Structure 1
Amino acid sequence: MSGEKKSGRERGEEWWRTGIIEMRPGVIRMRGYEIQDLIGRVSFPAMIWLMLRGELPTEDQAALLGIALGAAVDHGPQAPSIAIARMAATCGVGINNAMASAINVLGDVHGGAGEQALSFYGDIAAAMDGGAGLAEAVSSRLDRFFAGEKGYVPGLGHRFHPVDPRAPRLIELTRAFAARGVVSGRFADIAGAIEAEVATRKGKSIPLNIDGATAVIYGELGFPPPLTRGLFVLSRSVGILAHAWEQSAESDRNKGPLPKEWLWAYTGAPARSFPGDSE
């Protein structure tokens, strides 16, 4: 009966509910599949897809997901997350501590642009579903952005690269997969139209960046925007691990963000005497 008080065991078993994994002694099932049936037959990108989406992807879907994940693994120690991983390693902490320190800074500003880009694309896709043409939907969304939002159009421009070398290749591959019917190509079209319209309005080219390009792929594959950030974290964790491991083999200790002969710019009060001390 529904009103019957449940036993302690029943309450314990129902404390967490999940459709992801079933596990008991001798049994591990992921989304209903025996783990031993998946091992050696399912790639890591396919396993990510299965865990997040509940079903196995096609080989092409898994391949395209792997392409996006592989493209964003690292951007060097100038990237805050990578620098933090290396600095943490010089403090004598373990790999997990260094990785956690780095991953914790992947937020709205550093790591969140892909989610923002896919949300932007999604607004345009929704307008197109409502009957607007591509050019009209893009123009309308950019009008709203420039009228009321701050910052850069998500997914465009890079502070180091005049043209992000990763983005054109990712779009090229996305269109190749679209030509084979793996994805629709809709988000690639949207990103291209945004890039073209912004160039017209600004009078200069502001090319797609890695966040905008991977957002295209994640959108083509049907991932919602919040998962785009999580997928970026998975991707960048590879570089974070590599740098933490490399740095851990070095003899540097307590290495800060700048060489010791380079000090920060002090902008506070000039040197002064403590009140009551003689001049």
Structure 2
Amino acid sequence: MTETPQQYPTSLGTSNASTITLLGHDLSTELLGQVGFGELALWLIRQQRPEPADVRVFEAVLVALADHGFTPTAISARLTYLSAPESLQSAIAAGLLGGGSRFLGVTEDTARFLTATLAELDAPPPEAEGAPDHWDALAHTAIRNRRAEGALVPGLGHPVHRQQDPRTPALIRLAREHDRYGPHLALFEAIGRVAPEALGKPLPLNGAGVCGAALADLGLPAELLRGVALLARTAGLLGHIAEERRRPIANQIYRAVDGHAYYVAPDAPATHDYGSG
């Protein structure tokens, strides 16, 4: 009896001896030179070709998350490249592995928080551009519930931009201009409005959080958003490694830390305050 070969269906890419097909289109004749990388990435994620307004907001998010200076992810990449210059992929991977609850992971965490809050509503949320009192009341409830759980509100506060993250108003304005301002951004803005009263201190909406809200309003599932943040940061890490080759500083960082290391007893009190971002 002849066995039927197993088949593995995919809506992404396939190839044979003469052609490459991606998303149902001929890569060479229909996509190369006609589709930008941001559009392609969003198309791959959503499995349908995005509209130009979707691409504009998505690419703005990628730009907003690409680099933020000498963050732990960038330093990790540079130090790994110093240690293993023959392994570029290890340096980039080292930086990406640092995407978590304090850096980069905030994009996903904020989207999860906003999505869960909206899912608990008994009725559909009001129009994003209307009913500010409703959104503020919902934001108060969301913050109260989050505090009752003993958890921080994701997307609030930044270790550098303590008054306002400059990315936040720019991304919100862009979403509005392209008619992509939806309930996640409306709720996130309301959280920013009520947070000083609800928490007793002013905390700005950070850029990673607004990116999560904007991506959620584009219909992307929260579970994939850390991947989008890492996609953006990959470009930034590659830039850091390229700069490390031209103007190396990783060895200085290593020498500075090593030269200032000193022994303390294991039970000595900690003296560092680690911020979040």
- Shared topology, TM-score over 0.5? yes
Q: Which residue is 1:141 aligned to?
A: 142
1:14-39 alpha-carbon deviations (Å, 9 max, x no partner): 3x442211211111111211112011
SS of structure 1 residue aligned to 2:195? helix
Could you tell me whether the CA contact under 8 Å between 2:138 and 2:187 is conserved in 1?
Answer: no
Give 2:227's match in structure 1, choosing from 216, 230, 243.
Answer: 230
In structure 2, the CA distance between the partners of 1:258 and 1:194, relative to structure 1 (3 Å rule), is farther
Query: After TM superposition, where is structure 1 displaced by more than 6 Å over at least 4 residues in a row?
Result: none
In structure 2, the CA distance between the partners of 1:167 and 1:263, relative to structure 1 (3 Å rule), is same
Give 1:197's match in structure 2, choosing from 194, 197, 203.
Answer: 194
Give 2:80's match in structure 1, choosing from 81, 88, 96.
Answer: 88
In structure 2, the CA distance between the partners of 1:146 and 1:173, relative to structure 1 (3 Å rule), is same
Q: Which residue is 2:157 aligned to?
A: 157
* Cα-Cα RMSD: 2.4
In structure 2, the CA distance between the partners of 1:136 and 1:245, relative to structure 1 (3 Å rule), is same
Q: CA deviation at 1:199?
A: 1.5
TM-score w.r.t. length of structure 2: 0.84
In structure 2, the CA distance between the partners of 1:213 and 1:88, relative to structure 1 (3 Å rule), is same
1:206-242 alpha-carbon deviations (Å, 9 max, x no partner): 1110111101210111111121100000111111000
1:179-226 alpha-carbon deviations (Å, 9 max, x no partner): xxxx24322211111111211113332111011110121011111112
Could you tell me whether the CA contact under 8 Å between 1:30 and 1:51 is conserved in 2?
Answer: no
Number of positions where the alignment pairs a residue of Structure 1 with one of Structure 2: 256
SS of structure 2 residue aligned to 1:208? coil
Give 1:28's match in structure 2, choosing from 2, 6, 20.
Answer: 20
In structure 2, the CA distance between the partners of 1:168 and 1:41, relative to structure 1 (3 Å rule), is same
Q: In structure 2, what is the Cα distance between the partners aligned to 1:246 and 1:131?
A: 49
Q: CA deviation at 1:257?
A: 4.2
TM-score w.r.t. length of structure 1: 0.83
1:102 lines up with 2:102 in the alignment: no
Amino acid at match of 1:107: G
Could you tell me whether the CA contact under 8 Å between 2:96 and 2:230 is conserved in 1?
Answer: yes
Could you tell me whether the CA contact under 8 Å between 1:21 and 1:31 is conserved in 2?
Answer: yes
In structure 2, the CA distance between the partners of 1:104 and 1:255, relative to structure 1 (3 Å rule), is farther
Q: In structure 2, what is the Cα distance between the partners aligned to 1:47 and 1:89?
A: 30
For structure 2, the 5+ residue unaligned runs are: 126-133, 267-277
Could you tell me whether the CA contact under 8 Å between 1:128 and 1:134 is conserved in 2?
Answer: no
SS of structure 1 residue aligned to 2:120? helix
In structure 2, the CA distance between the partners of 1:253 and 1:171, relative to structure 1 (3 Å rule), is closer
Q: Percent identity?
A: 25
Could you tell me whether the CA contact under 8 Å between 2:107 and 2:155 is conserved in 1?
Answer: yes
In structure 2, the CA distance between the partners of 1:6 and 1:134, relative to structure 1 (3 Å rule), is farther
For structure 1, the 5+ residue unaligned runs are: 270-279
Q: Which structure would you say has the larger Rg?
A: 1
